Chain A
C-alpha cells in the first residue's frame, strides 16, 4: 500500500528564528504555502476575547506594500486559493497557487509578517469588526444549536482556563477592540520566531529555500513567545446543564477531558471516537439511530488541542424520545467499553470488539489517505507538527500512530476518561418547552 511515509522532507531555520519545512511533490504544477503562528484564543484573556480571530481578519487588509483587498486580488488573479483560520492554540494562513507564482505568495506573507503596521487604519478595523460580528451571527447566534458549544465549554473548563471562551469571542469584546490592541498583538505574536512556514508541491528545494531566505531573511529576529501552559486533570464530578434554543429537536452534548493532542492517549481517544460512531455499522449509530431509533444522529470526535484534549459526543434526540433515556443508553455503551463484564445488559457489540476496532482503524486509514491527497492538507500538517512538537516527520506517520492503538488501550482509555465523573452534559431544549 503506497503511503506518504518516507516522502522527502527538508527542514531549515533562518537566523531570525523562522522555521521552514519543504515537501516536494511535482505531480501537478501547484504549490501550497502554509504559515502557522503559535497564537490563538488561548493567548487572550476574559473580557478581551475574539482578538486573535479579529486580528487574523486584519492580516488580509493589506500591509506596507500591499493595498486593502489586494492580498486576495493578487492571489486570485494568478489562480490562487487562499484563506486563514484561528483556533484555540494557533492561527494559520495558507494559499495554494500555480507553482510558478511561489514568489508572489512569499512576498505577500513576508510583507504582512514584517510590515503590517504601516497599512493599518481605523477604517479597516471598523469594517472587519462588522464582518466578524456578522460571522458570529451567521455561525453562532442565528444558527440552531449555535451557542451550545460555548455553554458546553463553560461546563468543561474552569473559570480562568483559556479554552473556556469561544475562539470567535464575545460580541461586546469584539466591539471593544482598538487599533492599539492590534498593534500590540502584532508585536508580541507575529514575529518569525513564533511562526512555521511549510511548502508542499512542485518546486526545487534549493531554489525555494533561496526564495524564502530572500523574502523572510531580512525580517528582524523576534523574541520567543512563552507558551501558555494550561494542562488539566479529568473532572472530579459530573457537571450538567440545559439551555433553550430556537429548535424543534432536542440535542445532547457530552464532553470529556482527555490527554492533549499528539500524546498516546489522544490517539486512543481518536480511534475510540471512530470506533463508536464512524459509519452506519458503528455500534452507537447502529444501536441508537437504526435499531432503537432513539437518536436522529450521533457522532463522536476529538479536538486536536494542545493543552487538554476534548472527546465530544453529540446526539440529536428523535421526536417523542426522552432525552434521559438516550443519555442513559449512551452511558451503557461507554461503561460497557470500560468494564465489559460489569453489566449483564451490556450491548452485544462489546463481544466483537476486535472487529469493531479493525473497522475503526481501516476507516481512519482511508480517511487519512483521502486527506493526504491535497497539498494544502499536507502543508498544514507539516506546520502543525512543527509548531507543536518540532517534528514535521510526524505529519506523515499519523496512520502508524492510529494503527498502534489496541483493545487494551481503548478499554483503559474508556475506564480512565469516559466515565460519568469526567463528563460535562448539556441538553439543548426547544424554546417554550423547558421543564
Chain B
C-alpha cells in the first residue's frame, strides 16, 4: 500500500460493553403508488415502487391462477400452464422470444405457486416499453405449442425423480401430504407422474381462459420510473385489444373493476384445508443409512389476511425466525444437533402451514423432536420476558430497510400487497404493530395458534432408528412416497 499510515490516536475505548448508538434516524418508508389504467388498455391495477438511480426495472404480472385452482385429478395444471406461457405466441416461437429478450440482457420467469401465477421480467431500464409489449404478447397471444408441452412434460417428470433424491424435498412433500390430506394442497404443486402423463393441451387452454384474467390481477413495477412515463408506456404497449382474449378481458375488466378489489384476497377456491388434528401424529420416510435426518414439525397456520398474522410473524421471529431464536439456539448452539433450525408461517390465501425445519444428526432425532415440541409448549405456558420481546422488536424494526435496497425487494412487498389486497401503507402499519407488541399479546397468540400436542412430525432418515427413537413421542407410521417409485 502506497498511502501513508493514518496516525493512531492511541486512545483506548471502553470495550466492556456495547457502545452507545448514534442519534435515532427515521425509518424510511418505501414510496408505493397504485393507479388504474383505462380498462380497454390494461384494466388491472398498477402498483409502482419508484427507486431512483438503479438502471434496472422489475415488471411483474400477477394473476389469480395458482395451484389452488388445480382440479383434484390434475395437480400440476397451474404450474404447467404458467411454464408454457413463454413457450411460444401467435407471433413467435419460444426460442425466438427468449433469444430476443436475452439479447437485451433481460430475464423472464413464468411460474405458478399455490397463490398465483407470475410473469416476472427484469430488464435494463431503457427497455421498459419493450418489456410491457412483451408481457402483452405473452398474456393475450400464448400459443401453447404441443411439442413444447411434450418437452416440459418430460422435463417435469425427470424433475420429480430428482426431487425424490433430495431428503429435504421428500420431507416437505411428506409433510404436505399428511397435513393437507384430502385437499389439493396435499399433492405436489408440480403434479404427480400420473397427472402429468394425462395432461392435455386443451386443459391448459381452458385453465388459461378461466384464470388468466387481468381484471383479477395486477401489474407490479419497481425501478427508476415515474407514474406518467409508466402510464404512457402501458398505453403504448396495450394500444387496442390485440385478439379475442384481449377483447374478452377488456370487457370483463370494464364490468367487474368495481368488484375486483373485494374479490381479491377472498377465501381460496380450494376451500378450507381442514381442521387441526386431534393428536400428535408421527410419519417416518425411510432413507436407509442416512446419518442426518430431515425433520419437520408443524400444523395448520392462518390465512395471510387473518388479523393475527402480523403478530404471529413477531412471535415466530422470537421462536424460530432468526439466528438467536429459541429453537436455533436450543438445537444448534446448546445441543449441536444441527447446522440450523428454523420455523415459519407460510402465507397462502387459505391456511398455509406453520412448520419447524431442521436437518438433525440421526442419532439425536428423538431428543431433537422433544426439544422442538418443548419449545412450542414453553412459549404457550410461560410468559415471554419484556427484554426478549424488545430484542425481537428491535431486530424487526432494524432489518426493515434492508429489504428496500433492491428493486426485487420492493417488488416483493408490492406483490404481497396486490396478492392479498392489503392497503398500500402496509409497511407503516406493520412497523406500528411491531412497535406496539406486548408480552400479553404474544402469550395470547401462542395459545391461540400453536398446537404442539396436535402437531404432525415428519422424519426422513433410516426408518429402523427413527421408528425406535420417535416411539417415545407416540406411534410412528411408515410412509412411502409415490413419486420416488418413479412410474414415469
Interface positions of A (Cβ within 8 A of B): 1-3, 11-16, 19-20, 27-30, 64-65, 68-69, 72-74, 76-82, 96-104, 107, 111, 115, 126-135, 137-139, 141-144, 209-210, 213-215, 217-218, 246-249, 278-282, 286, 289-290, 293, 296, 316, 318-319, 355, 358-359, 362-363, 365-366, 369-370, 373-375, 390
Contacts and interface: CB of A to CB of B under 8 A. Distances in A.
A1 B124 contact: yes
Contacts, number: 256
The 8 closest A-B pairs by CB, nearest first: A79-B398, A130-B336, A362-B105, A217-B8, A100-B22, A281-B99, A135-B339, A137-B292
Given A81-B402, A375-B405, A248 B21 contact: no
Interface in B91-129: 94-95, 98-99, 101-107, 122-124, 126
B11 interface: yes
A296 B488 CA distance: 15
A79 B400 contact: yes
A65 B167 contact: no
Given A27-B53, A77-B390, A69 B11 contact: no
Given A293-B151, A296-B159, A359-B102, 20 more contacts: A14-B6, A69-B329, A78-B394, A79-B395, A79-B399, A79-B400, A98-B25, A98-B398, A103-B19, A107-B19, A129-B336, A134-B337, A142-B292, A213-B8, A218-B13, A280-B95, A281-B101, A282-B102, A363-B102, A373-B405
A131 B394 contact: no
A282 B26 CA distance: 46
B155 interface: yes
13 contacts: A30-B402, A99-B25, A103-B20, A107-B18, A127-B336, A129-B336, A130-B336, A218-B13, A249-B162, A365-B105, A366-B124, A369-B55, A390-B1
Contact of A111 (B15, B102, B104): B15
Contacts of B333: 68-69, 127, 131
A144 B165 contact: yes
A205 B207 CA distance: 57
Given A29-B28, A131-B332, A366-B124, A293 B154 contact: yes
Nearest to B6: A12
B486 interface: yes
B324 A76 contact: yes
Contacts of A319: 157-158, 161, 488
Contacts of A370: 56, 122, 406, 408
B78 to A, nearest CB: 21
Contacts of B122: 366, 370
A369 B56 contact: yes
B53 A2 contact: yes
Contacts of A359: 99, 102-103, 105
Interface residues of B, number: 90
Given A101-B21, A213-B6, A1 B55 contact: yes
Given A99-B22, A296-B155, A370-B122, A15 B164 contact: no
Among B19, B27, B291, find the residue whose CB has the most chain A CB atoms closer than 10 A.
Answer: B19
A104 B18 contact: yes
B10 interface: yes
A246 B165 contact: yes
B102 A281 contact: yes
Contacts of A107: 13, 15, 18-19
A362 B15 contact: no
Given A77-B394, A137-B361, A246-B165, A218 B12 contact: yes
A108 to B, nearest CB: 8
Nearest to B336: A130
Interface in B388-434: 390-391, 394-402, 404-408
B151 to A, nearest CB: 6
Contacts of A362: 102-105, 124
B332 A13 contact: no
A107 B19 CA distance: 7
A73 B328 CA distance: 12
Contacts of A80: 398-399
